[in-house]
Amino acid sequence: MVSIKEDGALPLPWLAAPLTHALQQARSHALLVQGPEGVGQLEMALALAQSWLCEAPLSTGLACGRCVSCHLFQSRSHPDFLLLVPDALRESLGLDADDAGPAKDGEAKASKSKPSREIKVDAVRAMLGFAQVTAARGRAKVVVLFPAESLNTVAANALLKTLEEPTGLLRFVLASSAPESLLPTIRSRCQPVPLGLPPREQALAWLAERGVASPDVLLDACGGRPQQALQWSEDGIAAKTWLELPRRIARNETGVLSDWPVPRAIEALQRLATDLIRTAHGAPSAYFPRDALPAARNPDAMQEWARILRDAARHAEHPLNANLLMESLVGQGQRLMRVAVRKDA
């Protein structure tokens, strides 16, 4: 799990300014880090927690990375820290089954069902138990919930009272890319901490350090969100693939996205539709370089495709037949693109 290191290095370099700002501006015992996915919300939440728990914070308020508390945090064994995430995220975050929290052993092992995408009430009840114990190291007790929109309604309601009247040194950091979907009663109890897209040069340097070729293409493809760009690159999506995508779809190469997970493929098509609508209106493209796009002249046809894609995105996690769905979406895009572009495109 990510933390502020011994040398004081932040897990993501662009968090320095927003972190310092948040630490200095925090008036509430509950913060809600909000903004787009893929810019480091969880890292931000964890760094806030580590800084509050740190026993020798810097003048900026940031954790020192070297004290006993920081070492406990780095080794994920700080007694005053609790992270609540859906089971479905545990593996990708490198959390062991040992940390699985409140689930009873037998139950957890017997269940072969898919890990939940929700933070459930059991986890919140276990957190309430944690909250009642005096802080072992006397600095603070911190609970991070990520992503906060995965709290189901029962769990959110169980959280409310403690969020409103926390005991002693208890503090919360919620992080969400969909704060509008949180219960208003949860939202109103938290101080919002906006986390926007990082500065482009910083994001490009970070991607280049991680071996991403043509980081500018992938960063644009991902709307400026560097963590998503890194993930795409690690999943084998090269800049070339992205640049060729519009023309391959215009040629109705339905297999072009067959290796992509369906939600990501639909997201890519939505970005293409957005860019074709933008350029048809004479606006600059956002996700593709202008010369990678066919020259669309009829935004209405592309609006129709965008609407079809929006509908498809709602069911993207559970398509009945992924290949058929992608063939159909690419085919519709190709037909509408033919309507939208000039002959010479």
Would you tell me which residues interact with Zn ion (CB under 5 A)? Answer: 54, 63-64, 67, 70
**Rounded least distance, CB 139 to Zn ion, Å:** 9
For Zn ion, the closer of residues 71 and 264 by Cβ is 71
For Zn ion, the closer of residues 63 and 140 by Cβ is 63
Rounded CA-CA distance 302/202 in Å is 34
Concatenating the DSSP letter of every residue in 150-180 gives GB-HHHHHHHHHHHHS--TTEEEEEEES-GG
**Rounded least distance, CB 6 to Zn ion, Å:** 10
- Residue 182, C-beta contacts closer than 8 angstroms, at least 6 positions apart: 32, 148, 149, 151, 156, 174, 176
For Zn ion, the closer of residues 64 and 292 by Cβ is 64
Rounded CA-CA distance 156/154 in Å is 5
For Zn ion, the closer of residues 72 and 217 by Cβ is 72
Give SS3 for 194. strand
**Rounded least distance, CB 141 to Zn ion, Å:** 16
**Rounded least distance, CB 210 to Zn ion, Å:** 27
Inter-CA distances, 244 with 25, 222, 289, Å: 46, 16, 11
Q: Which is it for the CA torsion 211, 216, 221, 226, positive or negative? A: positive
**Rounded least distance, CB 239 to Zn ion, Å:** 40
**Rounded least distance, CB 130 to Zn ion, Å:** 21
Task: Give the Cβ contact number of residue 5 at 10 Å.
Answer: 14
For Zn ion, the closer of residues 5 and 338 by Cβ is 5
For Zn ion, the closer of residues 54 and 217 by Cβ is 54
Rounded CA-CA distance 251/145 in Å is 45
